[in-house]
Structure 1
Amino acid sequence: MSSVNFRLLLVTDRHHTQGRSLVPLLDRAIEAGLQAIQLRERDLPTRELLLLAQEIYAVSSPRSVPLLINDRVDLMMALNLDGVHLRSDSLPTRPIRQLIGSRRLIGISTHSAEDVQRANQSGADYVVFGPIFDTPSKRSFGAPLGLALLAEVCRRSSIPVFAIGGITCDRVAVVRRAGAHGVGVIGALLTRDDIGEAVREFTDAL
Structure 2
Amino acid sequence: MEIDYGLYLITDRSFLKGRDLKKVVEEAILGGVTLVQVREKDISTREFYNVALEVKEVTKHYKVPIIINDRLDIAQAIDAEGVHLGQSDMPIKFARKILGKEKIIGISAGNVKEAVEAERDGADYLGIGTVFYTGTKKDIKTPIGIEGLKEVCNSVKIPSVAIGGVNETNFKEVLSTGVNGISVISAILGKDDIRQASKNLNSK
Q: Give the TM-score normalised by the residue count of structure 2.
A: 0.94
Q: Distance in 1 between matches of 2:57 and 2:22?
A: 10
**Match status 1:69 vs 2:68:** yes
Deviates more, 1:42-51 or 1:99-108: 99-108
Q: Is the 8 A contact 2:166 2:184 kept in 1?
A: yes
* Percentage identity across paired residues of the two chains: 35
Alignment of 1:1-206 (within 5 A): 2-203=1-202, 205-206=203-204
Q: Distance in 1 between matches of 2:180 and 2:194?
A: 22
Q: Distance in 2 between matches of 1:41 and 1:116?
A: 24
Q: 1:107 Cα shift? A: 0.8
Q: Distance in 2 between matches of 1:96 and 1:147?
A: 30
Structure 1 unpaired stretches of 5+: none
| CA displacement, residues 111-165 of structure 1 (integer Å, 9 cap, x when unaligned) | 2222111111110111111111111212312111111111111111111121111
Q: Is the 8 A contact 2:131 2:165 kept in 1?
A: yes
| CA displacement, residues 27-64 of structure 1 (integer Å, 9 cap, x when unaligned) | 21122232111111121110000001111101111211
More helix by proportion, 1 or 2?
Answer: 1
Q: 1:171 Cα shift? A: 1.2
**Alignment size in residue pairs:** 204
Query: RMSD of aligned C-alpha atoms?
Result: 1.4
User: Partner of 1:9: helix, strand, or coil?
Assistant: strand
Letter paired with 1:21 = D
User: Partner of 1:134: helix, strand, or coil?
Assistant: coil
Q: 1:88 Cα shift? A: 1.3
Deviates more, 1:15-24 or 1:84-93: 15-24
User: Partner of 1:54: helix, strand, or coil?
Assistant: helix
| CA displacement, residues 69-102 of structure 1 (integer Å, 9 cap, x when unaligned) | 1121111111111101101111011122122222
Q: Is the 8 A contact 2:8 2:36 kept in 1?
A: yes
Letter paired with 1:25 = V
User: Partner of 1:6: helix, strand, or coil?
Assistant: coil
Q: 1:23 to 1:51 in 2, by over 3 A?
A: same
User: Partner of 2:170: helix, strand, or coil?
Assistant: helix
Q: Is the 8 A contact 1:14 1:21 kept in 2?
A: no
Q: Is the 8 A contact 2:5 2:182 kept in 1?
A: no
Deviates more, 1:147-156 or 1:110-119: 110-119
